[in-house]
A and B are shown apart, each in its own frame.
Chain A
């Protein structure tokens, strides 16, 4: 697996708009995760700034994540969840084609500001998620890329630990899977 080449990207899930559950505006607190290849990142588990504390249907997360994605990744999936005591429910998901920010014609380090329609479990339209993506410039060869991979992953592990200590049933599971992947 170490032999496949990766691109490192910096993705920020900025905000959501007009989020709904059963057609009614969301009132609870919400957070967002980014997934690819069945791994999940972010999700604001414990660090308060990544859950929108005010709650409501126009949340602001500004959750920044550094990711290493295999070059053959086609989609990233963004999931918006709402916090509840019993279980986390997904408000909506959006598929982000990697070609939207790794396409030709743009300088590598360009800050892409992108927005996507969220769809709920039944495929119904549900709100919008705003993200920004910056692709880190490719360093000469694959060797330095692996080095940076390790440093990038550290904060993710921290978040995960934090989230477990808070005792939430929250999103601990997907993040741990990412960590196990790392080692």
Chain B
């Protein structure tokens, strides 16, 4: 939920509270959470039971100090090495001014028992001007390198403590120690539908600041059996306030374990130099917090005394203003209860792809039968989407070509039938594509607006029949877009519909414009009339990156789709039709907010 903060503010934002934003704003990505859509795909392709999902928690000590006036602002990027190529699997958040950080954001990885899975961890000092942007968009080349560590995933899992401490070394397997060490702890993730929404408040906190009042924030950590604790979330900083109320925290069972698992709740005074002063702490389980809520009583903070082992009880108290247990359905819950995904395909037939009779063209018609870039993309992407499509019938269009009647069309049927855009299966798309290529001549300009509006019309029309359909428009393009503003308008209008747009880029063009459309940098798309996209509905995948091995195709295609699907369903309170009865899931919802 970052938003526009000036540099220090980046460090004051909440992390890991997974705010299922109450409004219709763009939901925070699951960040490091497992992607069940990808798992499901692999499992049904014969990989069932061969792996378990594990979560890596990272902490470091004695990191190099790269900043002159302050301390480093570290972030870890985790890679897995596959066939000699590094594939990024996740990033932690950036911690401000800290040489001994404990990151909250976890990195999730599938543990395959039978294969060797080398992991590489790179620690960077993030330039403060990047501290407020989503970590995914940070360009690592611009950051200071603090060291690298590597191990094999099974090394961590087989340790009794499930954790491993590694020395940070030079880049690319260099042997020189850079100073500092990184500790990786692995835990199996428990899939759970249960989440708790909780509002925490404190009163009479000690004042730690001289000229103003304390700037408190809470950090919640889960105590683990093997010793120590893992931070699971931190709240935003409330400035200059000794009786702070924080925003609603949404914690999944996956994060807090079970209701009896002890949690350490620490209250700190935020300090921009990174040394946050402990105001007080206490240990409570989720069950205890629920009890506090029902009894409307407070729990006193304690502070470890500087001498001797005893703890001093403080006047400051913690209250629970709101406590609701909810069931949060997963993507697979919806799909398996009869919700349907329907894919539509649009192929770029503009002249920027090159003459189809020249071998350099992305649309090259090879007599020997070798697939051109578009055919490759259709085949590879088609295999994944056909798995999730219910009836395997795809409306297929082309855009940006001069059709038989001599006019340039920005949305024509690929099939020979002018009234029926639907084709059957990936083979059907391939046939229709080859057919269209012979029958049209490439032209321009490249306009996405019309195909998006066409798809939106279909999605809107389906709402009359039922609410359990969700549409995905797949646009395969070389990425040179002429109508950026119109496309944005179409996307903004479509953001209110059960529709996602998956843009697959082929060829070697610069895909800057596509990245603008894929609103991952936190800027929501905006039309010229002032309407703003309700949610992010675009995902961009570059086939070039896929073929380079930097990302996996299935992972990339399905990276944001489940989240986009869920944001649509959850914001409208649409629930799967046949799962566990809901009345069991929300025992306290009835007397929730009005009691406050």
Contacts and interface: CB of A to CB of B under 8 A. Distances in A.
Contacts of A106: 460, 463
Interface residues of B, number: 28
Interface in B503-535: 524, 526, 529-535
Interface string B572-594: 10000000000000000000010
Interface string A36-63: 0000000000000100001001101010
B23 interface: yes
Contacts of B460: 105-106
B interface majority secondary structure: loop
Interface string B449-460: 000000001001
A94 B535 CA distance: 18
A18 B3 contact: yes
A97 B529 contact: yes
Contact of A115 (B24, B247, B464): B24
B22 A62 contact: yes
B23 A116 contact: no
Contacts of A110: 463
B4 A15 contact: no
Contact of A100 (B3, B524, B531, B571): B531
Interface residues of A, number: 29
A15 B22 contact: yes
B22 A54 contact: no
A54 B21 CA distance: 16
A114 B22 contact: no
Given A95-B530, A115-B531, A115-B534, A58 B24 contact: no
A128 interface: yes
B464 A113 contact: no
B1 interface: yes
A58 B1 contact: yes
A144 interface: no
Contacts of B25: 15, 17, 115, 128, 130
A49 B530 CA distance: 28
A106 to B, nearest CB: 6
Contacts of A60: 22-23
A142 B571 CA distance: 32
Interface in A87-140: 94-95, 97, 100, 105-107, 110-117, 119, 128, 130, 132
Given A15-B25, A105-B457, A114 B530 contact: no
Interface string B284-296: 0000000000000
B496 interface: yes
Contact of A105 (B3, B23, B461, B524): B461
Contacts of B496: 112-114
Contacts of A119: 530
Contacts of B464: 107
B479 to A, nearest CB: 27
Nearest to B593: A49
23 contacts: A14-B22, A14-B24, A15-B21, A15-B25, A54-B247, A60-B22, A105-B461, A107-B463, A112-B496, A113-B24, A113-B496, A113-B572, A115-B531, A115-B533, A115-B534, A116-B530, A117-B532, A119-B530, A128-B532, A130-B23, A130-B24, A130-B534, A132-B24
Q: Which 10 A-B pairs have the closest CB atoms?
A: A113-B24, A15-B23, A130-B23, A14-B23, A115-B532, A105-B460, A117-B530, A113-B534, A130-B24, A115-B534
Given A15-B23, A49-B593, A97-B531, 10 more contacts: A17-B25, A60-B23, A114-B24, A114-B531, A115-B24, A115-B533, A115-B534, A128-B524, A130-B25, A130-B534
Interface of A: 14-15, 17-18, 49, 54, 57-58, 60, 62, 94-95, 97, 100, 105-107, 110-117, 119, 128, 130, 132
